[in-house]
A and B are shown apart, each in its own frame.
Chain A
Amino acid sequence: MSITHLLFWFLTVLALGSALMVIFSKNPVHSILWLIGTFFAISGHYILLNAQFLAIVNIIVYAGAIMVLFLFVVMLMNLNTSAIPVKNKWLGFAGVISGGCLLLVLTAALKDTAVMRNDVQMNTGDIGLIHNLGMVLFKDYVLPFEVSSVLFLSAMVGAMIIGKKDTNETS
């Protein structure tokens, strides 16, 4: 078993374990920290696949910006006080059962398909490097790139309008 396989299994266990801890930990702050662990494990998978640009973007955007935003909102709300909702035990049970059924059905449907034996290129190949991706992004996909900037502008304006205090109500 080579070092690539060992790293793959280590990162897989790390990602799945952190993902399970996200949904089973009681404290929302702990959930967010475990989700950051999951994102780092997924970035490790990207590095293993030699998609280095996406690994760096994943760390910067997800583990950096988005998770800090989540953490900031949770700390702003002061959720640790009380308000533990009355939880229906059967509802949680049914959720786990239906999620497990989804896992079972997808696995059973996919496990005998022909492509499953195809190899994945690991540790080599230059399609994930920033030179190649930058050439494609700014030549063939320059219009979607510019449209996404408009999307960001509208998201920023929308977030500010939604988050603004309603002045008509208080007066």
Chain B
Amino acid sequence: MTIQHYIFLAVALFSIGVIGVLTRRNIIIIFMCIELMLNAVNLLLVAFSKMHSLAATAADAASKAGTEGQIFVFFIMVVAAAEVSVGLAIIVMMYRNTHSVDVNFLNRLKH
């Protein structure tokens, strides 16, 4: 598989996430689409890491190039887990105040 398959797959997943954020009005679905976009980026990082690994091991068989990309994906997952816990707490608090998860009811800051 060449890198372009992975690039197009990740771009398609990211665009589906963007479409979900733009069209859906349920705040939980919007949050899930953000997770989808994060995962598309993670997949692309791993694919690029393996691409660099292939190029480096062709020159030097003991090379460890590309490890940093996977470490980075690991830290993205860590940050995403913390983000989800705080975000869901905010959603629960919002539901308690407005009894709805529709983002159209969140326009109170305008008034």
Could you list which residues of chain A lie within 8 angstroms of chain B, going by C-beta atoms? 4-5, 8, 12, 15-16, 19-20, 22-23, 28, 31-32, 35, 38-39, 42, 45-46, 49-51, 53-54, 57-58, 61-62, 65-66, 69-70, 73-74, 76-77, 79, 83, 85, 87, 91-92, 94-96, 98-100, 102-103, 106-107, 110-111, 115-122, 125, 127-128, 132-133, 136-137, 141, 144, 148, 151-152, 154-156, 158-160, 162-163
Neighbouring B residues of A122 by C-beta, 8 Å: 1, 50
Shortest Cβ distance from residue A64 to the other chain B in the assembled complex, whole angstroms: 11
- Check B54 against A125 for contact (C-beta < 8 Å): yes
Interface mask (B75-93 → A, CB under 8 Å = 1, otherwise 0): 1011111111110111111
Closest 10 CB pairs of A and B: A95-B22, A99-B19, A23-B20, A155-B82, A95-B23, A121-B54, A103-B15, A159-B89, A116-B4, A162-B89
A70, B32: Cβ atoms closer than 8 Å = yes
Q: Which residues of chain A come closer than 8 Å to B36, judged between CB atoms?
A: 19, 22, 35, 38
A148 CB contacts on chain B under 8 angstroms = 75, 78-79
> Within 8 Å CB of B50, what residues of A?
49-51, 120-122, 125, 127-128
Whether the Cβ atoms of B85 and A155 lie closer than 8 Å is: yes
> B residues touching A (Cβ–Cβ < 8 Å)?
1-9, 11-20, 22-26, 28-29, 31-33, 35-36, 39, 42-43, 46-47, 49-51, 53-55, 57, 64-68, 70-71, 73-75, 77-86, 88-93, 95, 100-102, 104
Select which of B4, B43, B70 is within 8 A of A127 by beta carbon: B70
CA distance A8 to B75 in the complex (A): 26
Residues from chain A with Cβ under 8 Å of B18 in the complex: 98-99, 102
Q: Which residues of B contact A156 (CB under 8 A)?
A: 85
Q: Which residues of the partner chain A approach B74 to less than 8 Å between Cβ atoms? A: 53-54, 57, 133, 137
Q: Is the CB of A62 within 8 A of B32?
A: no
Are B86 and A54 in contact (CB-based, < 8 A)? Answer: no
Find out whether the CB atom of B33 lies under 8 angstroms from the CB atom of A125.
Answer: no
- Chain A residues, Cβ within 8 Å of B23: 23, 91-92, 95-96
Judge whether A120 and B90 touch: CB under 8 Å.
no
Which of B2, B46, B91, B104 interacts with A119 by CB under 8 Å? B2
Q: Are B2 and A118 in contact (CB under 8 A)?
A: yes
Contact between chains at B89 and A151 (CB < 8 Å): no
